[in-house]
Structure formats: structure tokens, C-alpha cells
């Protein structure tokens, strides 16, 4: 018997029991739908994070302090008080590292910002004018921190879109630029508002305020090295050309080791690619995790198929006996029932794929409370490989869970099967 | 040469610790074109003999040659192939598949033929077989739409379609009234006479056995007697008028 004959027989058998077939398929439909929907969320998160990292700028290197070991206790990365503003200046010097285009050091802290009766706690980033260029992030209104502001340690602040919204949102006509806000009981003049970047998986980029790095170093964090350098949390370096990335990493490494007088690195240099790889690893794991959870329901659906196929084999014992009496071999009976279970599963898989894509669209369109206003809900992307995977797995599930019932049918003794009532 | 040549057939069933000797050494020859009845009370071993002759079961010992081929030591799949090629079954309860039309029922053995028969040829041969049993006007009826006699005719057409060496009929009239029984027996006689098909009946009704030309009695797993029928009964010739379907519409049975 050919497989196409088997498909014909199976379709008739399935059509004869429509409700049962539909309910059996439902298990697979839900399983495949869940796999597609959840994997689309994972893939969506991955795509979004990738875009954000790429959107930070081009050819970037991120230098952060390394970890320190003190009294046998190793602290976390970025804790060592090693990286200074003076390091940033040295890196920016073309005679040290000629391939560097721009350098933006950062000091990060947190503070309460108050405007009239409203106030908010936010992240304060002290930086230099290059920040705007390096991070590819412009002011929407007003101006950015200038060289003069840095030199004069001016009490000026550029607000993130979120902070501006929180403090001045009640009056849409009034511009925050030119207003005075109080931070740590000191008056700061608002000189600009950054354009909104939107929420991302790892916090909201718009929930921050920028100040001249010198202002933060004198007013907020007075941490110094033993040699009197001003400590920074991170130095972002833009390399002139993509081809010079590796060379630049090496040169900066040499320079910093020399400046810090260490043999072993007390700092970490990561490129944008490194960040991307790490993020992809995390989101990849997330996707697999979500997919596996959904996969469990697919297995449950498969068990449902096996259950119904066992019932079906018992019900059709006499039919099997008749088929064997007129010359059907074991293989013929095996194919008949395997095709039937695979067909249920594959049909369910197709419906499930459609359902999963629909659910994924719904998730992408939905606004979820708690996520910042102005941003869409969870991102979700249905990739062809997820669809192929779901389809393949559903076919495999039907085949696998059909093997036992089908082999039971094939092994039936024709005499007993014919006598079965 | 015999179509069926059986020597010292023994069949022992094991039911737990008890051994049941269903056949205790049966030897038998059946020539081509014979019409034989195997009779015996229940428990005599006639069903066991029929299962073995039909290649549904295998003897514990002894040999069974079907057209010179020893089939007593074949694998399950080899037996299935022999059944498909050389044996046609007719059962007491018809054993048709539910929801299938008459033509599809008759096509079934061709579906499992070793050499694939193309769909069109299958349909054509099935229609021919149904015409031979007088059901040309019931090709697309399902079992529930047919009377008992018509259902049995479909089963006979199914048995015929592969042009088997032998037809095994197990109480073929057991579920039919006496008039329909006579019609079915007339059909068997016609097939035997016109096409020379070897037909073996398994029955306990002497009424049916008298239509055959040889009666074999089985008792306690052994052949008790083997006698020719000197004057076989002939079914009412009126029922056989021509080869046209005489039965359709005349059956008094209510479709089951």
C-alpha cells in the first residue's frame, strides 16, 4: 500500500469522527500555537536589544574598571577604583592612540530632582560634550553640555525625556528649558531635554539626567584615587574606523596598564560586538526556555494523540482483521495508523502555526500597563525557523506517539481480530 | 494434482497449563474445481481447520501445500501475501467495513496486492466482480443500505476480485433466511460451474452441505467421514435465469 493510499484511508477515518479528531488536534494546536507565540516574544526581545545596542553608535568600545581582590575577597566587576578622568584624557590624546575618534567618560550616581512640588529619583550621568556624538543621541530641545560647562563646573542639567515628562508634564505649554530644578538642595538650570529613546528590556534609557562630568565629580561623588585622579564608571570610546577596532583595544590596554602601573588588567574593554554577543546569548537562552515550556504542552498533545489512537485501534479491531484477511501485511496496517496519527498532528500543527502568529500579533499590538507610555507592548517577531521548527516537531510528535498504537494494530492476530465484537 | 494437499495436520492450543488438541492428524486432498463442505459440531476442530486452510493460522505439525507451495512454515507477512493472492474469504457476518461503498469494499484486496494496481484498474475490476454477483445496480451503496443477501454478495465479490485459487466460506448463510440462503448457494454453484473456482464451505447445516458434491465430517479433531454427494441439490433455476441480477428488489429482508 502506498502512502498516498494511506492518506486517503486516514482522511476518511478522521472525517468519520469529526469531533474526536478536532479535540485530538486541539492538543497539538495549543502546543504549536504556544511554541510559536512564546518563541516570537523571545525573538522580539532579542531583536529589540540588538537594535538598541546597534543604535548606541558605531564602532564603540566600552572601558569599565575591573574587579579587585582585597583581603582575599574578590569584588564584582566595575568596582575597582582604577579608571579616572585623566585616563580618558590620555586615551583621547592622538599621540597615545591615533585611531581614537572621540572619548566620553561617564560618572554615574543617583539623586532626587525636584521642580516645585513634584520630584523624582533618577540616574545622574556626568559626562562631556562628546557623549552626544558617541552615543548618537541628540537633544530634542535646548542645547547639550558644552566644553565651557565642563570647564566651569556649571550647575546645568540636560533632562531625559522621561524625567522632563515627570517634572514638567502637567503643563504641556511650558518648556522645561530655562527652568530651575533642585538637586541635592542645589539649583540647576535646565539647558536641554534629550530625545526619547524608549524603554528597553534592561531599564528605561530616558529615565536619567546629564550633567557636566566635573560638576558631578565635585558636587556629588568626591571619590578620588590615592594619586588624586577623578574616578569614572565608564569610558566610551568611538574608534575612527571599524578595521582599527582590534588595534585600538590593544593600544588602549597598553596605555592603561602603563598608567596604572599594573601587569594584570584592572579594567575591562568591551566592544559593541561583545555586548551584542552577550545579549544574544541571554535572549537566546530566554527564547529556548520559553520554547521548551511551550514544548511541554506539545508533548501533552502528543500523548492525547496516542490515547485516541489506542482507542481507535481497539474500536477498529475487526476492520484490521478484515484488512489482514484480504492480504494486508503488518507494514500496511502500520502505515495506515501512522499516517493517521501524523496527519492529525500535522493538521493541528498548521492550525497552531496560524493561531500562534495571530497571538504573537496580538501581543505585539497590546499595551501592557507598567511599560512606559509612548512605547508599544512586548515586541514579538515570528521567524520562519520557528515556524519550520514547530511544524517539524508537530509532525515528529504525531509520528512518535503513533508508533505504539500502530504497531499494536499491526501485530493483531487476524483470527482474533475477526472474532472481535 | 491437488489444489490442497494436507498431511497429518496437528494443532495444539495452549490455554494456560491446559493443552487443547484441536486437530489430531488430518490428511486431506482437494482437487481443482471441487465444491466441498466441511461439517462437524462445534468444538470438532472444523474452524481450526478452516483457519489453517485459509492461511490465517499455522499448524503445530504436519504439512499443508497450496498449489504445490508449502505454506505451513511461512512468516505472518508471507501468509498475508498468500491470502491476498490465492484465497477469498466469505464470512457468516459478511465482515464488510462500515461506511465504505460496495465498490470500495471489493477494491480492498487489490489495495494490498504485491504489485500495485492502478486506481482505475482497481475500480474496473471491482465493478466486474460486482456484476458477476448480480449487484451492478448497487455499486455505490454502503452496507447499511444493503440487505443481508446483498451484503453477502458484496463479500463474495470481494472474495472473487483477486481471482483466487480457493474460496473459503464460513457459514455463509448463517445470518440469512432460507430463501436468500438458496439464492446465495445458487450463486456459489454458478461460480463453481462457470469459472471452475474451488469452493470450501464450513458449515453445520446439512441443508447447505447438500448443495456441494463432497462432504467431509470432522469429529474430535479427526476426519470422521469423507463422502461424495451423489445427487447434489440444485438451487431453483428460476433464480439463476441469465446472469442478470435476479435478487435485487426481490429480497424480503429488511436492510440491517
CATH number at residue B85: 3.40.50.300
Number of domains within chain B: 1
Chain B residues within an 8 Å CB radius of A414: 56
The string of pLDDT tens digits covering residues B87-142 is: 999 999 999 998 899 999 999 999 998 887 888 999 999 999 999 999 999 999 99
Nearest CB to A5: which of B84, B111, B158? B111
In which residue are the cell numbers 485516541 written?
A308
Beta carbons of A122 and A110 less than 8 angstroms apart:
yes
Please check whether residue B174 lies inside any domain of the structure. yes
Between A222 and A315, residue with greater pLDDT: A315
Question: What pLDDT is recorded for position A365?
Answer: 74
Q: Whole-angstrom Cα distance, residue B101 to residue B154?
A: 10
Q: What pLDDT does B250 receive?
A: 43
Cα separation, A376 vs A379, whole angstroms: 7
Give the span between the Cα atoms of A324 and B112, in whole angstroms: 9
User: Do residue A327 and residue B80 have CB atoms under 8 angstroms apart?
Assistant: yes
Query: Is A415 within 8 Å of B109 when comparing Cβ atoms?
Result: no
Contact predicate A126/A215, CB 8 Å: yes
**Quick one: closest CA in B to A330, which residue?**
B77
Q: Quick check: is B256 in a domain?
A: no
pLDDT of residue A5: 85
d(CA A222, CA A352): 60
Give the ranges where A271-383 is alpha helix by DSSP (H): 272-315, 317-325, 330-365
CB contact under 8 A, B76 and A330: yes
pLDDT class of A310 with cuts at 50, 70, 90: very high
Nearest CA in chain A to B96: A322
DSSP state of A75: P
Structural domain span for residue B127 = 4-240
Give the H/E segment covering residue A149.
Answer: helix A147-152
Which among B179, B141, B144, B148 has a CA at the least distance from the CA of B253? B148
pLDDT over 70 for what percent of chain B?
A: 91
Reduced to 3 states (helix: H, G, I; strand: E, B; else coil), residue A170 is coil
Assembly ipTM: 0.89
Inter-chain CB proximity A322 and B95 less than 8 Å: yes
As a residue count, chain B comes to 256
Cβ-contact B100, B144 below 8 angstroms: no
Contact A327 B112 (CB under 8 A): yes
Q: Helix A384-411 vs helix A18-55: angle between axes, to the nearest 10 degrees?
A: 150
Give chain B's mean pLDDT.
Answer: 88
Asked if A297 contacts A290 with a C-beta cutoff of 8 angstroms, the reply is no
d(CA A83, CA A101): 20
**How do A203-204 and A199-200 pair as beta strands?**
antiparallel
Averaged pLDDT for residues B173-183: 90
Q: Could you give the CA distance from residue A252 to residue A105 in angstroms, rounded to a whole number?
A: 14
Pairwise CB contact (< 8 Å): B112 & A322: no
Handedness of CA B10, B13, B19, B20 (dihedral sign): negative
Q: For residue A239, which of A276, A265, A210, A272 has the smallest C-alpha distance? A: A272
For A127, the 3-state DSSP assignment is strand
| A381 close to B (CB below 8 A) | no
Mean pLDDT on B8-12: 94
What single-letter DSSP state applies at residue A97?
A: -
- Distance between CA B87 and CA B78 in Å, rounded? 13
Dihedral sign of CA atoms B175, B181, B184, B189 in order:
positive
Per-residue pLDDT band at A318 (split at 50, 70, 90): very high
CB contact under 8 A, B77 and A325: no
Answer yes or no: is pLDDT of A321 > 90: yes
Residue of chain A minimizing CA distance to B81: A327
Q: Classify residue B255: in a domain, yes or no.
A: no
Selection from B160, B163, B175 nearest residue B95 by Cα: B175
Q: What is the DSSP letter of A253?
A: H
Has residue B186 been placed in a domain?
yes
* B252, part of any domain: no
Averaged over A335-360, what is the pLDDT? 93
Residues from chain A contacting residue B56 (CB–CB below 8 Å): 325, 414-415, 418
Query: What are the tens digits of pLDDT across the range A351-404?
Result: 999 999 998 888 777 655 544 433 455 678 888 888 898 889 899 999 999 999
Helices (H), chain B: 46-53, 76-86, 102-111, 119-132, 148-160, 178-195, 206-209
Looking at residue A300, its pLDDT comes to 92
Let me know if B190 is exposed, middle or buried by CB neighbors in 10 A (0-12, 13-18, 19+): middle
Q: Do B77 and A331 touch (CB under 8 A)?
A: yes
Q: What percent of chain B has pLDDT over 90?
A: 70
Q: Region B21-50: what's the mean pLDDT? A: 92
Nearest to B80 among A329, A415, A418 (CB): A329
Residue A119 phi, psi (nearest 5): -150, 160
pLDDT at A170 over 70: no
For B43, phi then psi, to 5°, come to 85, 5
Question: Who wins on pLDDT, A331 or B237?
Answer: A331
| pLDDT, tens digit, 9 for 90 and up, residues B46-86 | 989 999 999 999 999 999 999 999 998 899 999 999 999 99
Closest chain B residue to A416, measured at CA = B56
- Grid coordinates representing B25 are 492428524
Cβ–Cβ of A418/B95 closer than 8 Å? yes
List of chain A residues whose C-beta atoms are within 8 Å of the C-beta of residue B123: none
**pTM > 0.80: yes or no:** no
> Is residue A234 within 8 Å of A128, Cβ to Cβ?
no
Nearest chain B CA: its distance from A317 CA (Å): 11
Whether residue B83 and residue A325 make contact (CB cut-off 8 A), yes or no, is yes
Q: Which residue of A has its CA nearest to B47?
A: A415
* Of B89, B98, B112, Cβ closest to residue A328: B112
Given a contact cutoff of 8 angstroms between Cβ atoms, the answer to whether A79 and A92 are in contact is no
For B104, the closest chain A residue by CA position comes to A9
Please state at what angle helix B148-160 crosses helix B102-111, rounded to 10 degrees.
30
Residue of B84, B96, B98 with shortest CB distance to A327: B84
Amino acid at each position: 500500500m502506498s502512502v498516498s493510499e494511506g492518506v486517503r484511508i486516514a482522511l476518511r477515518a478522521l472525517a468519520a469522527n469529526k469531533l474526536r479528531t478536532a479535540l485530538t488536534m486541539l492538543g497539538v494546536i495549543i502546543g504549536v500555537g504556544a511554541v510559536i507565540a512564546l518563541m516570537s516574544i523571545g525573538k522580539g526581545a532579542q531583536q529589540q536589544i540588538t537594535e538598541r545596542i546597534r543604535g548606541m553608535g558605531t564602532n564603540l568600545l566600552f572601558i569599565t574598571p575591573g574587579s579587585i581582590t582585597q583581603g582575599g575577597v574578590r569584588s564584582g566587576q566595575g568596582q575597582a577604583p582604577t579608571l579616572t578622568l585623566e585616563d580618558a584624557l590620555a586615551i583621547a590624546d592622538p599621540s597615545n592612540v591615533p585611531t581614537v575618534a572621540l572619548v566620553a567618560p561617564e560618572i554615574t550616581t543617583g539623586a532626587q530632582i525636584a521642580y516645585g512640588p513634584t520630584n523624582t529619583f533618577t540616574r545622574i550621568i556626568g559626562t562631556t560634550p562628546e557623549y552626544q556624538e558617541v552615543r548618537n543621541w541628540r537633544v530634542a530641545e535646548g542645547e547639550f553640555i558644552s566644553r565651557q560647562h565642563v570647564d566651569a563646573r556649571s550647575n546645568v542639567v540636560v533632562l531625559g525625556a522621561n524625567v522632563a515628562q515627570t517634572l514638567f508634564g502637567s503643563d504641556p505649554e511650558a518648556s522645561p528649558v530655562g527652568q530651575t530644578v533642585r538637586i541635592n538642595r542645589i539649583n540647576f538650570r535646565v539647558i536641554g531635554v534629550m530625545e526619547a529613546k524608549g524603554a528597553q528590556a534592561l531599564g528605561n534609557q530616558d529615565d536619567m539626567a546629564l550633567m557636566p562630568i566635573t560638576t558631578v565629580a565635585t558636587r556629588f561623588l568626591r571619590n578620588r584615587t590615592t594619586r588624586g585622579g577623578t574616578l569614572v564608571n565608564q569610558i566610551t570610546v568611538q574608534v575612527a574606523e571599524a578595521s582599527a577596532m582590534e588595534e585600538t583595544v590593544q593600544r588602549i590596554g597598553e596605555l592603561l596598564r602603563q598608567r596604572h602601573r599594573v601587569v594584570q588588567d584592572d579594567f575591562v574593554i568591551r566592544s559593541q560586538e561583545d555586548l551584542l554577543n552577550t545579549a544574544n546569548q541571554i535572549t537566546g537562552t530566554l527564547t529556548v526556555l520559553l520554547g521548551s515550556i511551550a514544548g511541554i504542552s506539545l508533548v501533552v498533545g502528543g500523548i492525547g494523540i496516542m490515547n485516541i489512537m489506542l482507542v481507535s485501534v481497539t474500536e477498529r479491531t475487526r476492520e484490521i482483521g478484515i484488512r489482514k484477511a484480504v492480504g494486508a501485511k503488518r507494514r500496511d496496517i502500520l502505515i495506515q495508523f501512522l499516517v493517521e496519527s501524523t496527519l492529525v498532528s500535522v493538521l493541528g500543527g498548521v492550525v497552531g502555526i496560524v493561531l500562534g502568529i495571530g497571538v504573537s500579533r496580538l501581543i505585539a499590538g497590546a499595551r501592557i500597563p507598567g511599560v512606559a507610555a509612548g512605547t508599544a507592548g512586548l515586541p514579538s517577531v515570528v521567524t520562519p525557523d520557528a515556524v519550520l521548527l514547530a511544524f517539524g516537531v508537530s509532525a515528529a510528535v504525531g509520528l512518535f506517539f503513533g508508533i505504539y498504537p500502530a504497531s499494536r494494530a499491526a501485530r493483531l492476530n487476524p483470527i482474533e481480530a475477526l472474532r472481535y465484537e | 494434482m491437488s489444489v490442497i494437499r494436507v498431511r497429518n495436520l496437528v494443532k495444539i492450543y495452549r490455554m494456560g497449563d491446559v493443552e487443547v488438541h484441536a486437530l489430531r492428524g488430518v490428511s486431506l486432498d482437494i482437487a481443482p474445481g471441487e465444491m466441498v463442505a466441511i461439517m462437524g459440531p462445534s468444538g470438532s476442530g472444523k474452524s481450526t481447520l478452516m483457519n489453517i486452510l485459509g492461511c490465517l493460522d499455522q499448524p503445530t505439525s504436519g504439512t499443508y501445500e497450496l498449489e504445490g507451495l508449502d505454506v505451513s512454515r511461512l512468516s505472518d507477512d508471507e501468509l498475508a501475501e498468500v491470502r491476498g493472492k490465492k484465497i477469498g474469504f466469505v464470512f457468516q457476518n459478511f465482515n464488510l467495513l462500515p461506511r465504505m461503498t460496495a465498490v470500495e469494499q471489493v477494491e480492498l484486496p487489490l489495495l494490498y496486492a504485491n504489485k500495485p494496481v492502478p486506481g482505475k484498474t482497481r475500480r474496473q475490476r471491482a465493478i466486474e466482480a460486482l456484476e458477476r454477483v448480480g449487484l451492478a445496480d448497487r455499486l455505490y451503496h454502503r452496507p447499511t443500505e444493503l440487505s443481508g443477501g446483498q451484503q453477502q454478495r458484496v463479500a463474495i465479490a470481494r472474495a472473487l476480485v483477486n481471482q483466487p485459487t480457493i474460496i473459503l466460506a464460513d457459514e455463509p448463510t448463517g445470518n440469512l433466511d432460507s430463501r436468500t440462503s438458496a439464492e446465495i448457494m445458487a450463486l456459489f454453484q454458478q461460480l463453481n460451474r462457470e469459472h471452475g473456482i474451488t469452493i470450501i464451505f464450513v458449515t453445520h447445516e446439512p441443508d447447505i452441505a447438500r448443495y456441494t458434491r463432497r462432504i467431509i465430517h470432522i469429529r474430535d479433531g479427526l476426519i470422521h467421514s469423507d463422502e461424495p454427494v451423489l445427487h447434489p441439490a440444485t438451487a431453483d433455476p428460476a433464480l439463476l435465469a441469465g446472469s442478470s441480477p435476479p435478487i435485487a428488489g426481490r429480497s424480503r429482508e429488511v436492510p440491517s
